Amino acid sequence: MNRYCIKILELSSLNIKFLPGVGEKKAAVLLTELGIESYEDMLYHFPYKYIDRSKIYRISELNGQLPYIQIKAKIRNLQTVGVGNRQRMTATAYDESGTLQLVWFKGFKYLANQLETDREYLIFGQPSLFNQQLNIVHPEIDNFEKASSLLVGFQAVYPTTEKMKKAFLNSKTISKFQSAIFKSLKIKIPETLPSWFIQQYKLMYLHEALYNIHFPESPEMLRQAIFRLKFEELFYIQLNILKLKYKRKSAFKGHLFSTIGDYFNTFYKQYIPFDLTNAQKRVIREIRQDCGSGKQMNRLLQGDVGSGKTLVAVMCMLMALDNCYQTCLMAPTEILATQHYETISGMLKELGITVALLTGSTRKKEREEIHQGLQDGTLQILIGTHALLEDIVTFKNIGLVIIDEQHRFGVAQRAKLWQKNTIPPHVLVMTATPIPRTLAMTLYGDLDVSVIDELPPGRKPVTTLHTYDTKRLQVFQFIEKELQKGRQVYVVYPLISESEKFDYRDLEAGFEQINNYFLPKGYKSGMVHGKLKPAEKEAEMRRFVNAETKILVATTVIEVGVNVPNASIMVIESSERFGLSQLHQLRGRVGRGAEQSYCILMTSFKISSDSRKRIETMTSTNDGFEIAEADLKLRGPGDIEGTQQSGLTCSLRIANLGKDALILNEASRAAGEILGKDPDLQNEENQVFTTQIKRLFKTRITWRYIS
């Protein structure tokens, strides 16, 4: 094979090590660091930014806020300073408008012999401010005349890692590889979209788009290239997920809840503990419509912490009961399941409904009775933990499954619930993790989504404060005042696996400090963390729920769902280390009673600007959706809870769900239009789509039926 003449089909199968200049060693690094294995992978390794190298700045125009820039300057005062590890080379660059300091910390010995004073250089780098003095650390510096070939407008900058740099793989090298691939191509890169589609949406062709993303011919061409690639990426995700939805809706029959009967009506008229909020009413109507349609429901119910999802769940359960179906509610922990059981059996006790609790610690005899009741249909509602999933748990006729706090359950577990009846039951997944719309469309595009966007009346919003570690004594005094009023307090420590040892030390030191201060005053504290056995954890939690302990020192294990209305303060230690959605979840543990509640975010003095933004977001809003949007913008979707298991948003190469909502909407509409006319993508003109979907989504189809 002549490796310089590539036929196009080989792009995805041709190993990158064959590209001139790459070789075995670099190929290995590319694979481990970036997952690049083939020519195609390399072409789809996109720059993360571009530098305008056509513009030359004057030194007087510079400040510490600019991206990479270049100047034309001479240098003087070239010298090596410091000793040993701290040795560095410095120089002063100057043009007619001012001066600037250049600094090199390593690799300067060779450079020192090359540089000459009073010669014009093209100096390239990112200016920053250090001790009131503008400098550039590790600038690229080239002889100006020789470097004029660099002055070619937009230049791509690629993400690199430390390991890559060690293997001499920097942004420039990557750029050379891209260029080498294009040179080796004999024909144009084939289209991944049909031509009618490209024309209809006025897209750039793939070959031009890929070329321009790496070597922009003009800002406008770059804009079009980016648009084409983002649009395509989002379009295929939508086409794939909406296809599943169309299919599910036509393929699966659902149990028909045709009537609203006595249980529902009696409860609604006589026993409902409060008036439903409008949002609760709307959501119940949506669910009612689904379950009355003859199709199987798969619905995600989003509602911020405290928005009243449990009551919605109860009303839906009554709907199932009225139509002679059984129903179950699954919660992620024993304590949550128990809480649900107590609340729900309390609400329903006048209606003569049979409710049981099944958890890991349910006694054998009781367990057997439950199994019996489920099989002969005398047991109507089952509430529990993972124990519900065991094969031995079989129902006479289950019609509705409700899953609380969805992200703690894996896909496989949800699948098990489907199999508990010949016709799969309706599934309602409830989550308190608000998901921005773009993310929901991408992750749960095949699910219907209902949102409770209103809190019950009379809640006092939690007051959120930011303070520094140095003020801990004041925080303790504040806590003491609340304890005197009879309230309880959470103190949460971060626990991040890489620094686990230190984190446990912090946690234990914190616990000791709290005990030293509060125990003599008669307030007991408890501590829970992931190293405790589940039973120990449950016991410790229970002591707090029963108010035997007043302060609960914990890692984030308390995050999900626990309801202790008497707890009115949430102190979050090292809060700069938490993500936004986690902070919001934690804050949701307080503010559940009628009292004014507080969330106190402790940080050290020096925190990163991203951390500062997170803290500012927390102190400025209580709105979970606003926070989720901010989180998406700050972190990108890869880290947001519940998204990892999909493997989908992490694989976005170019689109950004935080920023590309408009493109996503357009792409989604385009996908819907096509499926509306050709749900199975059978038509000749749509064959390219089918091929491409197969290629892109080989591995991750089945679970989407389930969630």
Task: Please give the size of the binding site for ligand ADP, defined by CB under 6 A.
Answer: 16
Among 102, 305, 337, 428, binds ligand ADP (CB under 6 A): 305
Q: What is the dihedral of CA 51, 57, 63, 68, to 10 degrees?
A: 20
Tell me the C-alpha distance between 31 and 654, whole Å.
19
Tell me the C-alpha distance between 407 and 385, whole Å.
14
Q: Is the dihedral of CA 197, 201, 202, 208 positive or negative?
A: negative
Q: How far is the CB of 272 from ligand ADP (least distance, A)?
A: 9
Q: Which is nearer to ligand ADP, 311 or 330 (CB)?
A: 311
Burial class (CB in 10 A: 0-12, 13-18, 19+), 624: buried
Q: Which is nearer to ligand ADP, 217 or 275 (CB)?
A: 275
Q: Which is nearer to ligand ADP, 311 or 443 (CB)?
A: 311
Region binding ligand ADP by CB under 6 A among candidate stretches 8-16, 135-143, 169-177, 307-315: 307-315
Q: Which is nearer to ligand ADP, 565 or 679 (CB)?
A: 565
Task: Specify the residue for token string 């000459």.
Answer: 116
Q: Which is nearer to ligand ADP, 463 or 563 (CB)?
A: 563
Q: Which is nearer to ligand ADP, 121 or 544 (CB)?
A: 544
Contact pattern from residue 523 through residue 562 relative to ligand ADP, giving x for each residue in contact according to CB under 6 A and a dash for the rest: ----------------------------------------
Candidates 332, 331, 334, 330; CA nearest to 534 is 334
For ligand ADP, the binding residues in 63-92 under the rule CB under 6 A are: none
Q: How far is the CB of 495 from ligand ADP (least distance, A)?
A: 24
Region binding ligand ADP by CB under 6 A among candidate stretches 66-74, 299-307, 514-522, 594-602: 299-307
Three-class DSSP category at 69 = strand
Task: Specify the residue for token string 């100096």.
Answer: 123
Q: Is the dihedral of CA 110, 113, 114, 116 positive or negative?
A: positive
User: Does 309 participate in binding ligand ADP (rule CB under 6 A)?
Assistant: yes
Region binding ligand ADP by CB under 6 A among candidate stretches 195-203, 305-313, 569-577, 611-619: 305-313
DSSP, residue by residue, 3-24: TTSB-GGGGGTSBGGGSTTTHH
Listed in sequence order, the DSSP H helices in 519-595 are 534-545, 580-587
Q: Which is nearer to ligand ADP, 302 or 692 (CB)?
A: 302
For ligand ADP, the binding residues in 669-698 under the rule CB under 6 A are: none
Contact pattern from residue 263 through residue 282 relative to ligand ADP, giving x for each residue in contact according to CB under 6 A and a dash for the rest: -----------xxxx--x--
What separation, in Å, do the N-terminal and C-terminal C-alpha atoms of the chain show? 47
Q: Which is nearer to ligand ADP, 480 or 623 (CB)?
A: 623
Among 47, 254, 308, 399, binds ligand ADP (CB under 6 A): 308
Q: Which is nearer to ligand ADP, 593 or 672 (CB)?
A: 593
Q: How far is the CB of 286 from ligand ADP (least distance, A)?
A: 16
Q: Which is nearer to ligand ADP, 510 or 588 (CB)?
A: 588
Three-class DSSP category at 565 = coil
For ligand ADP, the binding residues in 497-526 under the rule CB under 6 A are: none
For ligand ADP, the binding residues in 417-446 under the rule CB under 6 A are: 432
Q: How far is the CB of 578 from ligand ADP (least distance, A)?
A: 20
Region binding ligand ADP by CB under 6 A among candidate stretches 298-306, 362-370, 375-383, 681-689: 298-306
Among 125, 127, 303, 436, binds ligand ADP (CB under 6 A): 303
Q: How far is the CB of 588 from ligand ADP (least distance, A)?
A: 7
Tell me the C-alpha distance between 28 and 500, whole Å.
31
Q: Which is nearer to ligand ADP, 425 or 588 (CB)?
A: 588
Helix (H) or strand (E) holding 319, with range, is: helix 309-322
Q: Which is nearer to ligand ADP, 228 or 309 (CB)?
A: 309
Region binding ligand ADP by CB under 6 A among candidate stretches 95-103, 303-311, 512-520, 630-638: 303-311
Inter-helix orientation angle 500-518/472-484, to 10°: 50
**Residue nearest to ligand ADP as judged by C-beta position:** 308
Tell me the C-alpha distance between 559 and 493, whole Å.
12
Residue 641: both structure tokens together: 């809870």
DSSP, residue by residue, 631-675: HHHHH-GGGSTT-GGGTSGGG-SS--TTT-HHHHHHHHHHHHHHH
Q: How far is the CB of 488 from ligand ADP (least distance, A)?
A: 16
Q: Residue 300: left (phi > 0), alpha (psi -120 to 50), or beta?
A: beta
Candidates 113, 152, 127; CA nearest to 73 is 127
Burial class (CB in 10 A: 0-12, 13-18, 19+), 120: middle
Return the biggest CA–CA distance within the chain.
95
Among 307, 450, 556, 692, binds ligand ADP (CB under 6 A): 307
Asked if residue 523 lies in contact with residue 483, where contact means CB atoms within 8 angstroms, the answer is yes
Q: Which is nearer to ligand ADP, 45 or 309 (CB)?
A: 309
Q: How far is the CB of 372 from ligand ADP (least distance, A)?
A: 30
Residue 144: both structure tokens together: 């100006």
Helix (H) or strand (E) holding 142, with range, is: strand 140-143
Per CB under 6 A, residues contacting ligand ADP are: 274-277, 280, 303, 305-311, 432, 456, 563
